[in-house]
């Protein structure tokens, strides 16, 4: 069974068609990437899957269940967790409390339980705390659990965001540009970490990424989006040699000359070496 099956979704903002008839399927335990030039609709696509936007048409099926139209908290409860392009941690809460908040949908304690603190409630609180420490250690933040989340360094905040998502025990993890703003070494660590998530936890990982080197390296499957449409899908090698992808990124042969000056602007710095291979 496919982990995620997106069937021709369309999302329109006023007159702008952000995502148009986009379909894709991610097999169980795969690492899939979504790439495309700036403004291609990648994040909109993500927001549709995680429930922030309600697509006008189409179906989104996760492990055989239609999740289109559900609220974000229901989708999270069904096992689809995500991180954000701009880090969104809970300010005013400690690192450990952020992870505990991520476990919300896996806990049963209601307000009466919180007030009465019956034995089962205390047991649950202890289990949850031990679990939270497990995730803290898993992402390598042990020792910083009592700090304010917003006081962490940038890379640690990214890892905390992933820990918060992992704490909800997801089956599918959506990562929106997990390596944005990282140096090559940190990126390599992140690649290894993403592989570990798949191999150790059996997660299906779906990521948006701008760094072509990273995408080609880590992905089992790549989907390319341009102007809201899926223009290519396949293994990294297939996508790399797809003429439509080359056209989307570099412009067509005829157009290339007049627009030559604009090309570097469209591409993040990291894509320079990739451009040469294309």
Residue 128 CB, nearest distance to another protein (Å)? 8
Q: Is 115 in the site for another protein (CB under 8 A)?
A: yes
Residue matched to tokens 């056209």: 247
Nearer to another protein, 199 or 255 (CB): 199
Q: Using an 8 Å Cβ cutoff, are 240 and 212 in contact?
A: no
Task: Pick the binder of another protein from 36, 41, 55, 102 (CB under 8 A).
Answer: 102
Q: Is 254 in the site for another protein (CB under 8 A)?
A: no
Q: Is 106 in the site for another protein (CB under 8 A)?
A: yes
Interface region with another protein, contact rule CB under 8 A, candidates 124-132, 152-160, 185-193, 206-214: 124-132
Q: Is 96 in the site for another protein (CB under 8 A)?
A: yes
Number of residues that bind another protein (CB under 8 A): 66
Interface region with another protein, contact rule CB under 8 A, candidates 75-83, 206-214, 236-244, 246-254: 75-83
Interface region with another protein, contact rule CB under 8 A, candidates 28-36, 64-72, 178-186, 212-220: 64-72
What is the three-state SS of the chain? CEEEEEEEEEEEECCEEEEEEEEEEEECCCEEEEECCCCCCHHHHHHHHCCCCCCCEEEEEECCEECCCCCHHHHHHCCEEECCCCCCCCCCCEHHHHHHHHCHHHCCCCHHHHHHCCHHHHHHHHHHHHHHHHHHHHCCCCCCCCCEHHHCCHHHHHHHHHHHHHHCCCCEEEEECCCCCCCHHHHHHHHHHHHHHHHHHCCEEEEECCCHHHHHHHCCEEEEEECCEEEEEECHHHHHCCHHHHHHHHCCHHHHCCCHHHHHHHCCHHHHHHHHHC
Binding mask 23-62 for another protein (x = CB under 8 A): ---------------------------xxx----------
Q: Is 227 in the site for another protein (CB under 8 A)?
A: no
Residue 207 CB, nearest distance to another protein (Å)? 17
Q: Is 66 in the site for another protein (CB under 8 A)?
A: no
Binding site for another protein (CB under 8 A): 50-52, 63-65, 71-79, 82, 84, 88, 90-94, 96-97, 100-102, 104-115, 117, 120, 124-127, 129-134, 136-137, 142-143, 145-146, 148, 150-151, 164, 168-171
């Amino acid at each position: 069974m496919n982990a995620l099956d997106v069937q021709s979704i369309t999302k329109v903002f006023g007159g702008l068609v952000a995502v148009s008839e986009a379909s894709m399927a991610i097999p169980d335990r795969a690492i899939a990437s979504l790439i495309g030039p700036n403004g291609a609709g990648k994040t909109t696509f993500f927001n549709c899957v995680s429930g922030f936007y309600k697509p006008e048409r189409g179906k989104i099926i996760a492990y055989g269940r239609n999740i289109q139209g559900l609220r974000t908290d229901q989708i999270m409860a069904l096992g689809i967790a995500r991180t954000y392009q701009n880090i969104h941690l809970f300010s005013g809460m400690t690192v450990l409390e952020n992870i505990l908040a991520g476990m919300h949908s896996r806990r049963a304690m209601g307000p009466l339980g919180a007030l009465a603190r019956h034995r089962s409630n205390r047991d649950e609180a202890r289990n949850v705390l031990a679990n939270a420490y497990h995730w803290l250690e898993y992402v390598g933040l042990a020792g910083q659990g009592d700090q304010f989340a917003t006081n962490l360094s940038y890379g640690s905040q990214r890892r905390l965001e992933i820990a918060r998502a992992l704490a909800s025990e997801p089956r599918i993890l959506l990562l929106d540009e997990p390596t944005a703003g990282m140096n090559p070494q940190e990126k390599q660590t992140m690649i290894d970490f993403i592989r570990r998530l798949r191999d150790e936890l059996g997660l299906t990982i779906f990521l948006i990424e701008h760094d072509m080197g990273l995408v080609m390296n880590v992905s089992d499957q790549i989907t390319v989006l341009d102007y809201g449409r899926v223009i290519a899908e396949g293994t990294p090698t297939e996508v790399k040699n797809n003429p439509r992808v080359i056209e989307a990124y570099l412009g067509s042969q005829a157009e290339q000359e007049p627009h030559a000056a604009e090309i570097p602007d469209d591409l993040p710095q990291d894509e320079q070496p990739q451009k040469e291979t294309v």
